[in-house]
Amino acid sequence: MIVLLTLAATAIAIIFRHALLRWRYRARARSLGCQPIRYYPHWDPVFGTDVLFGTIINMLLKRKPPQNVFWDEPPYGKTYATLNQGRDWITTVEPENIEAIFGKAVSLTGDDGIKGSRTEEVWGNAPLRSVMEPFCGKGFITTDGKEWQHYRNLLKPSFVKANVSEMSWFKAAASDFVANLPKNNQTVDMSQRLDQFFLNVSLNFLLGIRKEQESTAMDQLAVEEFLQAFHEAEMGAGMRVFFGRLGPLLPRKKWMQVCEKVHSFVDGRVRQAMQSQQPYPPSAKPIKSLLHNLTTQTSDVQEIRSQVIHGIMASQDTTSVLLSNTIFLLSRHAWAWDHLRSEIKGIPPEYWTFEALLNFKPVRNILFETLRLYPVFRILGRQALQDTVIPLGGGKSGTHPVFVARGSSVAANIFPLHRNKHIFGEDVGSFRPARWEAIRPKRWEFLPFGGGQRQCVGKDKALAEASYMLVLLASQLTAIQSRDDRDWTPQVKLTVRNANGSLVALG
Ligand code: HEM
């Protein structure tokens, strides 16, 4: 009985506090000239547990994406709020709002008493993501402001053009990859093969690991075990971000064990790299790994380990997902494949430098069109670090500013953003790479690589590698035919991919 009474009293206290906060927010919003935002029609309008549990059930049953995921403009308007554990989670497709969270925060200094309007003081990731730190430590994903700047600076030497444009190892590995593809009309899942290939590319770029050069079977096994532990540890970290304030209720022991496995593997590699103390081997101008570049900047093993783990998290399943989607689309649009083949015909292999790859329009148009239709990241968000405002979404018309309380989040809804008919044309649902000859989306209207200070630092590397792979496939294969008549079906994790892979026959 006492337990029940305590529970009831706690629930009443929480609801009362919630109502009080909402009342305070409404007063604050009015003083800032804001109007109410439209809400997702929750069954639980206090904490939004219906969406939380709906998402969990969907994830467990591996069914469709959660009910608040939209590919076209949501029925609640361009900007609307969902409740996540009592806090507002606002999604928007308005470029002005997106600019306010990534580019330049709305300035609120003055009589309203809200200080500081620099974007990095207003919007951040750290409050949501710091729960991941037992796995990945501190780095550019989990920090904000000056701390973030420090970690981003550590990445710089690895991403300078001289380093990422050195593609000789990549080109040789890509040639092997294409040469080993079965070309006898059997069904191949290109998505699995590309995942494996780009995992090796990442391991080379980040840790200097070339799996084919790992000297013994034991070494290779250690890499496999590391990857397995990494996957589990990252899942645990993701669950903690997802569950937010309920995260501490999740079991911790198993998670810590896999985190330790990851740490001990990376630490071993860090010490090896530090002990070798040699300049990078001069043979064949290899790309300098992130690990190597970090050891020249700091001797703090833990700091290096964390940056390597962050690097793996940021780059995995990105270029491979883009290319599997591209192949999915090309296998269903034979005219686009034939056009690509005719455009590259007769171009000698030495033409394909880093710059040429990035500037070759027929390939660029195909990749941009794929990223428009199937962006690798579904939403890009930030949490409000202080009370602030976004310019649009308030009132019945959605044209008034909206108050965003500290602790609420705002996210750009990338799928509907990329399907805006006013920007991309009436046929937004069609694959038509040539549209990129005519359209010029503005900065906050096309965001496959994010925007503002924290936009993707691996963009050129990813696009050059994806372009090269596409050129190679088009020059060495005559046909790519789809072996799957199902629609592209989103599988939502950190990235979004086609749940059915990319099933094709190659000729
Ligand atoms: C098609 C491939 C890729 C796509 C679509 C992509 C997309 C993105 C996006 C949207 C962000 C911004 C996240 C945010 O604002 O919260 C980002 C950040 C980042 N990406 Fe990529 N990415 C790709 C490939 C890569 C690769 C290959 C690397 C590294 C080798 C990489 C490294 C990074 C890093 C380090 C950041 C974090 C920047 C920061 O927070 O300071 N990305 N990426």
pLDDT of residue 63: 57
DSSP letters, 398-435, are S-EEEEE-TT-EEEEEHHHHTT-HHHH-TTTTS--GGG
CA of 194 to the centre of ligand 1 (A): 18
**What atom in ligand 1 is closest to the CA of residue 452?**
15
CA of 206 to the centre of ligand 1 (A): 14
Closest residue CA from atom 17 of ligand 1: 456
Angle between helices 459-476 and 334-344 (to 10 degrees): 90
- The DSSP letter of residue 132 is G
Question: What is the pLDDT at residue 490?
Answer: 85
- 373 CA distance to ligand 1 centroid (A)? 18
Pocket of ligand 1 contains residue 488 by CB under 6 Å: no
What is the maximum alpha-carbon separation in the chain?
Answer: 83
3 belongs to a structural domain = yes
pLDDT at 347: 95
Residue 5 pLDDT: 81
Domain membership flag for residue 22: yes
Residue 441 has what pLDDT? 97
C-alpha distance across the termini of the chain, in Å:
73
Residue 281 lies in a domain: no
Amino acid at 399: T
Which distant-in-sequence residues (6+ apart) come within 8 Å of 355 by Cβ? 165
pLDDT at 52: 81
Atom 18 of ligand 1, nearest CA residue: 456
The verdict on the CB of residue 398 being under 6 Å from ligand 1 is: no
What's the CA angle centered on 201, arms 195 and 207, to 5 degrees? Answer: 125
Residue 443 counted as domain residue? no
Give the C-alpha separation, 67 to 51, whole Å.
7
Number of domains observed in the structure of the chain: 1
Does 251 map to a domain?
no
The pLDDT assigned to 484 comes to 95
Is 322 a pocket residue for ligand 1 (Cβ < 6 Å)? yes
C-alpha to C-alpha distance for 313 and 479, rounded to whole angstroms = 34
d(CA 344, CA 338): 10
List pLDDT tens digits, range 194-242: 998 998 899 889 988 776 666 566 676 788 898 899 999 999 999 999 8
Whether the CB of 307 sits within 6 Å of ligand 1: no
Quote the pLDDT of residue 222: 81
Q: Which pLDDT score, from 0 to 100, does residue 324 have?
A: 97
353 Cβ inside 6 Å of ligand 1 = no
Given the structure tokens 């200070």, which residue do they identify?
453
CA-proximal residue: ligand 1, atom 39 (nearest): 454
Q: What is the CA radius of gyration of the chain?
A: 24
Domain holding 14, by residue range, is: 1-31
Given a cut of 70, the residues of the chain with pLDDT beneath it are 62-70, 109-117, 211-218, 220, 276-286
Has residue 5 been placed in a domain?
A: yes
The two three-digit tokens of residue 486, written as one number: 């199902």
| DSSP track, 193-223 | HHHHHHHHHHHHHHH---GGG--SHHHHHHH
Quote the CA–CA distance of 194 and 317 in Å, as a whole number.
9
